[in-house]
Amino acid sequence: LSIYTVYLWLSVIICFIVECGTRAKLPRIVGGVEATLGRWPWQVSLYYSNRHICGGSVITNQWIVTAAHC
């Protein structure tokens, strides 16, 4: 059993536990303010087709760490 198989099965199981593909009813950030460009230089926003899909943190000049769901 490879780690990829385990990851795939866990992803499928989690999709059934949480409402996969359903937007949250409330925003995740309440009362927040928009950060100015360059204020948090180690934070990144990953885009696909002009849409934010995930955030991450720069750990070296070639690597960004993200959450597993990215």
Which CATH number does the domain housing residue 65 bear?
Answer: 2.40.10.10
Residue with tokens 């955030």: 55
Please give the tally of structural domains in the chain. Answer: 1
Is 51 within the bounds of a domain? yes
Is 10 within the bounds of a domain? no
Mapped onto helix, strand or coil, the DSSP state of residue 24 is: coil
Is 6 within the bounds of a domain? no
Is 43 within the bounds of a domain? yes
Count of CB atoms situated within 10 Å of the CB of 54: 14
Is 9 within the bounds of a domain? no
Give the tens place of pLDDT for each residue, 9-25: 777 666 666 555 666 66
Give the tens place of pLDDT for each residue, 28-69: 777 778 878 888 788 888 898 988 888 999 988 888 898 888
Q: Are 66 and 46 in contact (CB under 8 A)?
A: yes
Cα 49 from Cα 14, distance rounded (Å) = 26
pTM of the model: 0.46
Is 50 within the bounds of a domain? yes
Domain with 67 in it: 39-70
Is 45 within the bounds of a domain? yes
Q: Are 57 and 43 in contact (CB under 8 A)?
A: yes
Residue with tokens 């087709």: 49
